[in-house]
A and B are shown apart, each in its own frame.
Chain A
Amino acid sequence: MTRAVRLELNGVEVAAVAEGGENLLTLLRERLGDTSPKAGCLQGTCGACTVLVDGEPVLACLMLAEAADGKRVTTVRGLADGPRLHPLQEAFMDGFAAQCGFCTPGMLVAAKALLDREPRPTREQVIEAIAGNVCRCTGYTPIVEAVLEAARRMAGRRG
């Protein structure tokens, strides 16, 4: 059973045909060519596949592709504003918050969801927001610092 799925991916209307039972991660990576969300476990336990669906962080490996029909999906590729990177991306670059980079797209998307909701998060809120994202390389400290730094920079820009 195949099904047509139409959605808005990073601001662009797209459509693809999904197999019955196919998850959103496969739809994004294989049918829509956005390989930025990563398949770290396909079990919902690593967070590498995190995307935003209508602004909410979602594990794309656990969501049926057809459930995204008609929704707004944001991956890390949708974070930048044209050539201008998102302050989170800048802060990750400056703060050496990625090593292998495999967790980075999911981390950034999870952090984006937090900052959208809570522009001035505490350290505890940052930790909670990324608690479902596994990183095997960094020891998390630089990631937490980078998210806090991005929030500070964004507050500075607004203020």
Chain B
Amino acid sequence: MEVIGTSQAGAAAAAPGGAPSRPRAFPPALRQLMMQAALIGGLLVVWQLLSGRLISDFFISRPTAIFAVIVETTLDGSLLYHASITAMEALLGFIVGGALGILFGVALGWSKLLADLLNPLVLCFNSLPKVALAPLFILWFGIGLNMKVALSAATVFFLVFLNTYTGVRAVSQELIAILRLMGANRRHVLTKVVLPSALTWVFAGLRVSVPYALIGAVVGELFASNRGLGAMLSQAQGQFDTAGVFAALFAITVLSLLLNAVVKVAETKVMPWQSGDHQQNTTV
């Protein structure tokens, strides 16, 4: 679940740990950052040296060439144009899929009847690879924005739905009993216990869905589009422009990181009691 978050979490955990022992040249967080930068820089250098020598640059291009394409497409505005379209699709898909996922997750988690009723349907749809729906969505929504949003939303929906559902189910029955003793009705229990306790799970679901939102959008563009990073990708590939392919991949990665950062900020805003946990030292 925490694949994307681990490096930051690791840095945060390392920070208070080593501090008091003895003064070092750099704070641990900075040291780690420098090592990470050195590693990436080293890989780029190796890549640059390999291409054209050991491996044909037709296959792997070379960092300088990719950088040149990025600079060029940034300057003529086309990169930003394509990126903004993909970002829009992914964001809309993320919001629509996330909202529906939360809604259904809470509904099914809260109502056993509904969960039992819909269980087989959920199992079927969940086992379906969501990108396989692309042809169907083209028939339904055409080849415009809606189809990519739908594809992205379909993927995000299930991840968020399953997480929310699990979260609602995992709520502490003891806390519910304590509140019911205070005279709480079902609405009180839902709003004061179930929803806040499920939030952790909801955000875990949202965080893992970020790359999938982009997958939905990009795959949709690969299928049918002349705009967006997916289209840029397939055009570059059609012209055997390997550097262009890598530049598009780079832009997709940056988008994913940005969206991920937005989710993280939202998470600390919405769950301040969790962010408090991060700063505090581990106690048992």
Do A and B share a complex?
Answer: no
